[in-house]
Copies of this chain bind each other. A is one copy, B any other.
Amino acid sequence: MSGNSFGLLYCVTSFGESHGPAYGGVVDGCPPGLELTNQDLQKELDRRKPGSSRHVTQRRESDTVEILSGVFEGRTTGTAIGFLVRNEDQRSSDYSAIAQKFRPGHADYTYFQKYGVRDARGGGRASARETLVRVAAGAIAKKWLRERYGVRVRGYLSQLGPHPIAFKTWDAVDANPFFAADPQVVQKLEKFMDALRDSGDSCGARVNVIAQGVPPGWGEPVYGRLDADIAAAMMSINAVKGVEIGAGFGAITQKGSEHGDEMTPQGFVSNNNGGVLGGISTGQDITVSIALKPTSSIRLPRRTIDTKGQPATIATTGRHDPCVGIRATPIAEAMLACVLMDQALRHRAQCADVATPLKLDNPSKIN
Contact = CB atoms under 8 A, between A and B. Distances in A.
A303 interface: yes
A238 B78 CA distance: 19
B354 A32 contact: yes
Contacts of A245: 235, 241-242
A13 interface: yes
A231 to B, nearest CB: 4
Given A80-B14, A251-B292, A357-B113, A261 B104 contact: yes
A298 interface: yes
Interface in A90-138: 102-107, 109-117, 119, 124-126, 130
Given A3-B225, A15-B80, A311-B264, A256 B348 contact: no
A297 to B, nearest CB: 8
A179 B348 CA distance: 38
Interface in A1-26: 1-17, 20-24, 26
A79 interface: yes
A119 B68 CA distance: 15
Nearest to A274: B241
A80 B350 CA distance: 12
Interface string A68-92: 1110100101111110100000000
A289 to B, nearest CB: 9
Given A77-B119, A228-B235, A242-B251, A277 B28 contact: no
A296 B254 CA distance: 11
A2 B15 contact: no
In this complex, the interface size class of chain A, counting residues with CB under 8 Å from chain B, is: 35 or more
Contact of A104 (B24, B102, B263, B274): B263
A327 interface: no
Interface stretch (A45-53, A56-64, A169-177, A213-221): A213-221
A203 interface: yes
Contacts of A69: 15-17, 20-24, 125
A294 B340 CA distance: 26
B202 A255 contact: yes
Contact of A70 (B1, B15, B66, B206): B15
Given A217-B110, A274-B241, A124 B72 contact: yes
A228 B115 CA distance: 19
A29 interface: yes
A31 to B, nearest CB: 5
A317 interface: no
B116 A14 contact: no
Nearest to A294: B256
Nearest to A260: B105
A166 to B, nearest CB: 15
Given A107-B280, A232-B231, A113 B294 contact: no
A353 interface: yes
13 contacts: A6-B224, A31-B354, A32-B116, A72-B119, A77-B124, A114-B280, A204-B253, A204-B254, A206-B252, A242-B245, A273-B293, A309-B359, A345-B350
> Which 7 A-B residue pairs are closest in the complex by CB-CB distance?
A107-B278, A3-B220, A105-B260, A3-B224, A15-B82, A202-B256, A110-B280
